Chains A and B, each alone.
Chain A
């Protein structure tokens, strides 16, 4: 492009616009040579290296966070996220986590706090050559973040924990400073790292030591989430009050036609009726006709202290209509309802009764 004589004040005006980040107002033949070159580069689709589309920098922020030792793990059902309101303060976030511990499955979180051992099993990234004219190697694929956690487990609990292998999960990590590490799922949405695999190791007898006697492993599914989109919420020790649930297996003790005696025994053998019978009897119990999927009416519930059980009466009209061998699933109160009534942290596992 021929250089054009442009009056000095016009040149100065364009330069001022450039310095302030604005596109020059004057185009085409009125551009000074420098601007003309830049304009031509845009028009011809060539890379404009002057455009700052990278966030790379090396400065030390005046306030930042450094990871401490691992303190806990919060598994979450895939897709569980926290909104901007949830992370507005440590108290708000802790409250949101507590609420999600008793949410219906699909929206629940599962904290694990009693970690004893932590191993970072993330390997080195794969490298490869770039040509036969050089010995240089570059990183060709990222290492997949993978971790092993030893915890203060017990047999029944580890059996339940090992069911993580069939669950679809995300995961948050919590360090000793109670910073909760996750990833930015979208603008203002805080979520867990996508879990490719969660796996419970076999339990071990104590030999010389008890390291990893009870342990589980987590392999993440997206290194970009972990490396490039990692973010965190700084909380406090109050977050450890958000605990996972204990399974309470409902079982049939006996029945007289539609009147069933049901026991609620937590993992490990604790019968919940003994201490919480009145509270649990006052909550809503439900049932389902497994043949049709329709709701089956529970007409009354009562605490039977003599048998350490609950008297559940099913609607006799519906019960009479069942055929011999038909099944009804009886469910206890929800985890959230029990928690609100002070019976926590439990989840009742339904019992299936079969009409004789």
Chain B
């Protein structure tokens, strides 16, 4: 068995989100794109705004010491 990185999950609207995975994205756009390409938004009928909020929660949960002044870089 390969060494598995400890995974932190968060439950949002009944969906178990791999916070460890999504917290690694550097920008909210990248994270939202991942939510979309993974099929999570379609499978659960969720919006990109929802994905944005979840991304912030993931960052806060996984790296709370780094998210006190989270600057979510968003392309206009």
Contacts and interface: CB of A to CB of B under 8 A. Distances in A.
Contacts of A316: 34, 37-39
A284 B16 CA distance: 8
Interface in A265-319: 278, 281-286, 288, 293-295, 297-303, 311, 313-317
Nearest to A302: B15
Contacts of A311: 43-44
Given A259-B38, A281-B14, A300-B40, 7 more contacts: A259-B43, A286-B4, A297-B18, A299-B21, A302-B43, A311-B44, A316-B37
12 contacts: A257-B39, A259-B38, A282-B11, A288-B1, A293-B2, A295-B4, A299-B22, A299-B38, A299-B40, A301-B15, A313-B43, A314-B38
Nearest to B44: A302
A8 B43 CA distance: 103
Nearest to A319: B38
Which secondary structure characterizes the binding site on chain B? mixed
B56 interface: no
B27 interface: no
Interface residues of B, number: 21
A300 B16 contact: yes
A299 B34 contact: yes
B22 to A, nearest CB: 7
Contact of B17 (A293, A295, A300, A315): A300
A315 B20 CA distance: 13
Contacts, number: 67
A283 B22 CA distance: 17
B69 interface: no
Interface of B: 1-2, 4-5, 7, 9, 11, 14-18, 21-22, 34, 37-40, 43-44
A230 interface: no
Given A297-B21, A298-B18, A299-B18, A282 B43 contact: no
Most buried by A among B4, B15, B38: B38
A50 interface: no
A313 B38 contact: yes
B40 A313 contact: yes
A63 B49 CA distance: 73
Interface string A102-122: 000000000000000000000
A300 B14 contact: no
A314 B22 CA distance: 13
Contacts of A231: none
B2 A300 contact: no
Contacts of A294: 2
A201 to B, nearest CB: 33
Contacts of B11: 282
Contacts of A313: 38-40, 43
A274 to B, nearest CB: 16
A159 B76 CA distance: 61
